[in-house]
Amino acid sequence: MKINGKMLAAGVVLGLAAAMLMGAMGAEPAGPGRYQLSSSAVYVWVMDTHTGQVWTTERRDETTPSFISSKPVVWIDYGTPVKEAGR
């Protein structure tokens, strides 16, 4: 089969159009994740951005890194904030 200039141009145009349509139909950009983390040298805080619930850690031995310490990390649940009536 012989390829002429018109067929080549038509193929390139159709290929570019298909690529542009696929890009336009992409998923919407993702927002922030459900869980957000923050940390310091001693504590770690985890927040559920959907409910507002917050957890933090309390290490028994604050002088030894947690991956070396034989004492377990304790998670403290601060609960979910509740809106007051009238606010």
C-beta of residue 54 within 8 angstroms of C-beta of residue 44: no
Residue 1 pLDDT greater than 50, yes or no: yes
* Alpha-carbon separation of residue 21 from 10, 25, 30, 53 (angstroms): 16, 6, 20, 41
Cut 0.75: pTM above it: no
Long-range contacts of 56-60 (CB under 8 A, 24+ apart): none
pLDDT band, very low/low/confident/very high, at 85 (cuts 50, 70, 90):
very low
Q: How high is the pLDDT of residue 84?
A: 47
pLDDT band, very low/low/confident/very high, at 2 (cuts 50, 70, 90):
confident
pLDDT digits (tens, 9 = 90+) for 33-82: 788 888 877 778 899 888 888 988 876 555 655 556 666 677 888 888 76
